[in-house]
Amino acid sequence: MTDRIPAFLESAVERMTSGSAANAGRVTGPAHRLCVALSFAGTAFAALALLSAGGTAHAATYKWVDEKGVIHYTDKLPPEEVNKANVELNKQGVTVHSTEPAPTPEQRRAKALEDERQKQLAKEQAELARKDRALLSSYTSEGEIDLARNRSLRTIESIVQSSKSYSEQLSKRKTGIEAKKQSDFKDKPMPVTMERELESINSELAKQEDLLAQKQKEIVGVNAKYDADKKRWRELIASKGGEAALLSDVNTMPAMSAPAATK
């Protein structure tokens, strides 16, 4: 064994043995200093080992399941398991973080459909809220709803009456042409102008018939709309504690629904 020790150990030993050799009454030669150095080195290595052990104790532990369903506990995730389901545990075994598995194509499609459904639902709810606000701002009583209904129905009825009057005129003209055809042109062809006029009348009568059918549908639609508006208005007023508003409207109803007086 050499009498020389590494310089850094010798320096450390000098610091450790300075002032202590005289009190201990020991020899402070190279051999003694080597023993002290080895002791110091052992202490240092032990400290490093403890630090290393402490670092390992604080390292994360991962819990994951392989494709065969086997549960694993490791201090590092395999590369192929990084994006899969796993749980990170602390040294007490308590979960500190969890990673959900990457969604499958079917799951992504299902999520996209659900997101679209929720988006459409939110749109419908927003539209309903807008209509409710408009309904409350448009009417202060059920009587006002009935007045609006009557105005709409009168407009349609005016068109219906005009169409019926026009159809009657056309029908009279058609009857006259057909009568003339039987009297004046029974045994010979009717003039082209009269034939064309008759065709035009028949075409216009068909149009007026379609118009009347359309207006009848509109009447049904208007009544359904205002019935729904009245029902919804009642619900909104009641939800706001407005029963008094509903009762106050009763006074206006008889005047609106009473039949005209006959002399």
Residues 161 and 95 in one domain: no
% pLDDT > 70, the chain: 68
What is the mean pLDDT of the segment spanning 113-127? 96
Measured torsion, CA atoms of residues 4, 8, 12, 17, in degrees rounded to the nearest 10: 20
Residue whose tokens read 């005047």: 255
Question: What is the pLDDT averaged over residues 26-47?
Answer: 51
Any domain includes 257: no
Q: How far apart (Å, rounded) are the C-alpha atoms in residues 263 and 246?
A: 34
Taking a C-beta distance cutoff of 8 angstroms, is the pair 133, 167 a contact?
no
Boundary (domain end) residue, out of 70, 99, 128: 99
Q: For residue 49, is it within any domain?
A: yes
Confidence band, pLDDT 50/70/90 cuts, at residue 242:
low
**Token representation of residue 152:** 């709409």
227: pLDDT confidence band, cut at 50, 70 and 90? Answer: very high
d(CA 143, CA 171): 41
Q: Mean pLDDT over residues 130-150, rounded? A: 95
pTM to 2 decimals?
0.50
**SS3 assignment, position 73:** strand
**What is the structure's pLDDT at 107?**
84
With beta carbons less than 8 A apart as the criterion, state whether 226 and 145 touch: yes
Please report the pLDDT score of residue 185 as a whole number.
81
Categorize the per-residue pLDDT at 13 as very low, low, confident or very high, splitting at 50, 70 and 90. Answer: very low
Do 195 and 218 fall within a single domain? yes
| pLDDT of 63 strictly over 50 | yes
H or E element in which residue 148 lies: helix 142-184
Average confidence (pLDDT) over 61-88: 78
> Could you tell me the residue range of the domain that residue 114 belongs to?
105-138
Residue 254 lies in a domain: no
Is the per-residue pLDDT at 48 higher than 50?
no
67, pLDDT greater than 80: no
Q: pLDDT: is 216 or 51 the higher one?
A: 216
Same domain assignment for residues 89 and 182: no
130 closest CA partner among 141, 118, 122: 122
Confidence at 59, pLDDT banded by 50, 70, 90: low
| Per-residue pLDDT at 115 | 96
> Based on the structure, what is the number of domains in the chain?
4
> For residue 62, how many other CB atoms are within 10 A of its CB?
19
Query: Is residue 122 located within the same domain as residue 218?
Result: no
Own/partner contacts of 191-199, CB < 8 Å, gap of 24 or more, are 197/173, 198/174
Q: Is residue 112 over pLDDT 90?
A: yes
Please state, in angstroms and rounded to a whole number, the distance separating the CA atoms of residues 15 and 19.
9
SS3 98: strand
Calculate mean pLDDT across residues 38-62: 51
* pLDDT tens digits, one per residue of 198-209: 999 999 999 999
Same structural domain, 244 and 143: yes
Domain identity same for 217 and 122: no
Phi/psi at 141 (5° precision) = -155, 165
